[in-house]
Amino acid sequence: MAEKIFDAIIIGTGAGGGTAMKILCEAGLQVCAINSGPRTNPATDYRRHRQVYDLKYRGYGDPLRLKGKAHQEPYSVEESEYSEGSDLFEHDVAYSNSPGTDWYWKRCKGTGGKANFWGRSSARFGDIDFKAADLDGFGENWPVDYAEISPWFSKAERYMGVASTIQNRPSNPDGEYLPPLPWRCIDYIIQKGGEKIGVPYLPDRCAQLTVGHNGHLACHYCGNCSRGCDVGSFFSPTWFTIPEAEATKNLTLLTNALVRSVLVDEDGAAKGVAYVDRTTRQEVEVSARVVVLAASCVETAHIMLNSKSRHWPTGIANSSGQLGRNLCDHLYGNPGYGYLPQLLGQPATPDNIADSTVGWMPRWQNLKNPREDKFIRGYAVYVGGGCGEFPGHYGQIEGFGSKYKRDIKRYYPTPIGALIQAPSLPSPTNYVDIDPEKKDIFGIPQLRFHFQWGQNELLMWEHSKQMMIDLFKAMGGEMWGADAEPNRPGTSLHEVGVCRMGSDAKTSVTNKWAQAHDVPNLYICDASIFPTSTDKTTTMPIVAFAMRTCDHALENFKKGVHKGA
């Protein structure tokens, strides 16, 4: 029997891969999507409103569940007893850190990927990001500008449903929004405090459905988002793109299939992929006319670096030597926490309405003059508080026994915390490569991280700590403390840069359409193509760029650049 040749293989079914599946399947292409883990089933894999006291390990999970696994670190929040048993998170595939690197690589291998559990903050990038090099002289610009990309942001926002307001901020282009998430008393106090110190506090751009949207139900504010939404009221591939792609009947979805490499023909063009079937441990090959990588930033680089051949001795499409380079991340950490005494005695209403970033402080630094501060570019801060389901402030106050319990209750309506989101700058010492010695349990050479925070982002970290001291003063609050150190690199899950796009094939991996310069039938639909980190999150832009890349690939099918079935 003749071997089946798909029009396209898509590696990964997350925000990027799911979007590619939907668009290519709806255009009539025969698509094979390959996902490293099992099918995610909201009916069994999400929290389903169970409370911690319903669970044997009070939500933390069986302490022995990672026994014998290659990657021992549990993932916070999203991986917990609520989803235990489903094997949604990657612990079989190990990775390495070079000496001095402490990268924390969280991976959701279930279909839909991390967007099953994401935080939903969804701001647009602007020319302040795309053309940052022109403004401050550091690094390189993106090969696109806002005028070119903004229609795709609109398309992504209209599809996903993003709640926010028009804000006219120079750092944050406005988009097309659903009504914002309702504000609470605490948000107005933060906003007033911010005004006094010249720092904006505004509704975040949140991909959460404040009203019914495109056939999806409106949010009912149960607050379970980070453990999966039972009713699909925020954008996730599980509720949006995957069922839409399946409805076309043009999709073949392979699960528990871990891609090892992209295969090439005698001319060095992509002809398919090789994957390991996790169940049988057998290696299998699938063929296609076009290969789309969407395995999530560093894993896309991992697969490409492992795709070595006579044509591509250092990894497929790596004639520039830039594959794996320019790794950037968001520095995360809590620059200040404490409480608002004016809220003591208020009833403990569960007003942490959506377990989300209701408001945020969009970048306010270096706007008029790109070198006004001690650092270049800028950062954003998410400030939050209110009565969460669990009293997160238990670790921020001191005490013991019944007085401690009484204090936790007393402070319940009052705590405020923050999260800085500061972009790192590309550096020649921040990159990923293949560990020359170690292989994972499937025999695949491991990915190795080389990464340190740079001085620029550490200066932002210090700046944000002072801002929080000023904010607490301005709000009439009292501070309990601040994180001594930023979080480990990788924590934000907003890594970018390892297959950067650019106009020059000598210094970038893909062109501005996310099509590999060297291998025109190889496309990338994840954040690895973003040349730099910004003060904004990555997922809505991943969806927008993936939509644009797939339209370009379809044009190429029409023009005969890629031969269709």
Ligand X SMILES: Cc1cc2nc3c(=O)[nH]c(=O)nc-3n(C[C@H](O)[C@H](O)[C@H](O)COP(=O)(O)OP(=O)(O)OC[C@H]3O[C@@H](n4cnc5c(N)ncnc54)[C@H](O)[C@@H]3O)c2cc1C
The residues binding ligand SF4 (CB under 6 A) are 208, 219-225, 229, 231, 233-234, 354
Task: Quickly tell me which residue has 């969460």 as its tokens.
Answer: 388
By a kind-dependent CB cut-off of 5 to 8 A, residue 553 interacts, out of ligand SF4, ligand X, none, with: none
> In angstroms, what CA-CA distances link 437 with 96, 330, 415, 446, 447?
10, 29, 48, 8, 11
Tokens 């942490």 map to which residue? 352
**Cβ(40)–Cβ(112) under 8 Å?**
yes
Could you tell me the smallest distance in angstroms from the CB atom of residue 457 to ligand X? 18
Partner that binds at residue 271, options ligand SF4, ligand X, none, CB closer than 5 to 8 Å by kind: none
Smallest gap from residue 120 Cβ to ligand SF4 (A): 8
Task: Give me the least distance between CB of 112 and ligand X, in Å please.
Answer: 6
Shortest spacing between CB 411 and ligand X, in angstroms: 25
Closest CB to ligand X among 315 and 413? 315
> Do β-strands 445-450 and 431-439 pair in parallel, antiparallel, or remain unpaired?
antiparallel
C-alpha Rg value of the chain to the nearest Å: 23
229 binds, among ligand SF4, ligand X, none (CB under 5 to 8 A by kind): ligand SF4
Residue 538 contact, options ligand X, ligand SF4, none, Cβ 5-8 Å cut-off depending on partner type: ligand X
Closer Cβ to ligand SF4, 103 or 360, answer by number: 360
Which residues here bind ligand X, judged by CB under 6 A?
A: 11-17, 34-37, 77-78, 108-109, 111, 113-115, 117-121, 226, 258-259, 294-296, 299, 303, 493, 526-527, 537-539, 542
Closest C-alpha to 449, from 457, 459, 461, 438: 438
Residue whose CB is less far from ligand SF4, 33 or 181 = 181
Among 233, 203, 472, CA closest to 336: 472
Provide the minimum distance between the beta carbon of 303 and ligand X in the complex, in angstroms, as a whole number.
6
List the single partner that 109 binds among ligand X, ligand SF4, none, CB under 5 to 8 Å by kind.
ligand X
Give the integer Cα–Cα distance in Å for 545 and 16. 9
Shortest distance, position 115 Cβ to ligand X, whole Å:
4
Q: Minimum distance from CB of 362 to ligand SF4 (Å)?
A: 22
Whichever of 360 and 480 has its CB closer to ligand SF4, that residue is 360
What region does 406 belong to: left with phi over 0, alpha with psi -120 to 50, or beta?
Answer: alpha
Query: Whole-angstrom Cα distance, residue 187 to residue 384?
Result: 8
Residue 245 CA to residue 20 CA, distance in Å, equals 9
Nearer to ligand X, 213 or 302 (CB): 302
Q: Taking CB within 5 to 8 Å according to partner kind, which of ligand SF4, ligand X, none is near residue 77?
A: ligand X
Instruction: Transcribe 224-270 into DSSP letters.
Output: -GGG--TT--B--TTTTHHHHHHHTT-EEEE-SEEEEEEEE-TTS-E
Between 120 and 393, CB nearer to ligand X:
120
Q: Phi/psi of residue 394, each to 5°?
A: -60, -30
Q: Which does 105 bind (CB under 5 to 8 A by kind): ligand SF4, ligand X, none?
A: none
